[in-house]
Homo-oligomer: A and B are copies of this chain.
Amino acid sequence: MQTLEAIFARSSYRGKYDPTPVPREHLQQLLEAGLSAPSGCNKQTTSLIAVDDPDILRQLNALTECKVGQTAPAMILVLTRRIIAYRDRTYFVQDYSAAIENILLAAVSLGYESCWVEGQVTDEDKIGRKMADVLGVPEEYELVCYLPIGKAANDIRRPKKQSFSERAWFNGFQKAE
């Protein structure tokens, strides 16, 4: 699929998934897409785990009350480390967000749906740490997001968005030219 087509076609899918397994070759490509994202000062703070083992998927899904992606045949878990990059600043959130967007676009281009699930794993319930423990992830890595991966079994709905002119301008704030 062409890049701009994938960018405009991507949406957050919260429906049921077809149970057909995702080929390892495709999971590999999705991980490579994530690792190809830029990172602040090239610190490469993001790591990724793809899960397609049904037993591990069940354990991970049992930990979250979030219903999104529970039927997906695969999942990508996003890990980060808070590494200092520029002056005293970290860019790990920017780094993993760019990696996630790459994975979401690669998924669309390979015919899959996904959804960026972050709030439910990083808030005070610490679901992310429990999921990380299932995967043997050491404490210096934070599990910040999971991405269900699979073919859609339901219709795809698109959120309503503000118009172009409310959010994008030329040569000055709210200028059309």
Contact = CB atoms under 8 A, between A and B. Distances in A.
Interface string A140-177: 01000000000000000001111010011111111100
Question: What DSSP secondary structure best describes chain A's contact surface?
Answer: mixed
A44 interface: yes
Q: In the assembly, how many copies of this chain are there?
A: 2
Interface residues of A, number: 76
Contacts of A108: 3
A4 B8 CA distance: 15
A106 interface: yes
Contact of A10 (B10, B36, B169): B36
Considering residues A11, A32, A94, A141, which has the most beta carbons from chain B within 10 angstroms of its beta carbon? A94
A4 B109 contact: yes
18 contacts: A3-B6, A4-B106, A32-B164, A35-B167, A40-B118, A44-B167, A47-B167, A49-B169, A49-B171, A49-B172, A49-B173, A85-B119, A86-B119, A91-B119, A97-B98, A105-B105, A136-B173, A141-B173
